[in-house]
Amino acid sequence: MKKLIIFIKLTGIALLTINAVQAARMYEEIQVTDGGTISGKVLLGNAKVESETFPITKDHESCGTGTRTVEWVRASGDALLDVVVYVDKVEAGKPFPDELKSIVVDQKNCRFTPYLQVMANGADVLARNSDPNWHSVHIYGIIKDKRRTLFNFSQPQSTIGITKQIKLRRGNALKFECESHEYMHGWVFVARNPYFAVVDENGAFTITDVPPGTYTVKSWHGRLGEQELTVEIEADGNTDLTFSY
């Protein structure tokens, strides 16, 4: 009996420890008065522009005719596009924008629109089909170079759509595919804090109101993966970074 009591007590301590760790990992919204700014550019570097062309064999009213080219890696001059730059493991800081707490992925003209967007972890994802034909919405959670199915459902034309709440325990991205149309692909970056930026048409980014401290800043691309840099953010300071693939 004494051993059993000791085991229960130890188990309770272990559970409390786990809960404390989980609580510590939750992001806390606070007022930031002396935050710094991180800005810079993401370069294509040694990576190559990459695309793949698929034949359009059905649903021509929505999908068109001929072929469809999927641009897996896009660039503008020396700049890499479709990249999210984010500050990893920020425990407290500025509030999450409301628009990150619920997003819409539309299937229009046999494309996932937008191709890339960002949501807060635990947000509602509304999958809408604006085409007159059926689509198959296959949502994968991405962990490094591996992926696992989160949801997979067929969907007729619908302005109401289907809503799923998605909270990732690991990884930071969702991949959308349509099993009925092999050229339909889309990405959602899953943010655990609001310190991120999607690069513009010049590969540039700016992240503001970063609390002073030492951080790991990462660049994420759905096809090319991640790179990271360590930075020291000073109060009201400006830090310039360059990522190169």
Residue pLDDT tens, the chain, 245 long: 433 333 323 334 333 333 333 433 589 999 999 999 999 999 999 999 999 999 999 999 999 999 999 999 999 999 999 999 999 999 999 999 999 999 999 999 999 999 999 999 999 999 999 999 999 999 999 998 899 999 999 999 987 999 999 999 999 999 999 999 999 999 999 999 999 999 999 999 999 999 999 999 999 999 999 999 999 999 999 999 999 99
pTM for the full model? 0.88
- What pLDDT is stored for residue 2 in this prediction? 39
- What pLDDT is stored for residue 141 in this prediction? 97
- What pLDDT is stored for residue 26 in this prediction? 83
- Domains of the chain by range and CATH? 28-244 (2.60.40.420)
- What pLDDT is stored for residue 1 in this prediction? 42
- What pLDDT is stored for residue 159 in this prediction? 79
What is the 3 state secondary structure string of the chain?
CHHHHHHHHHHHHHHHHHHHHHHHHCCEECCCCCCEEEEEEEECCCCCCEEEEEECCCCHHHHCCCEEEEEEECEECCEECCEEEEEECCCEECCCCHHHCEEEEEECCCCEECCEEEEECCCEEEEEECCCCCEEEEEEEEECCEEEEEEEEEECCEEEEEEEECCCCCCCEEEEEECCEEEEEEEEEEECCCCEEECCCCCEEEEEEECCEEEEEEEEECCCEEEEEEEEECCCCEEEEEEEC
- What pLDDT is stored for residue 190 in this prediction? 98
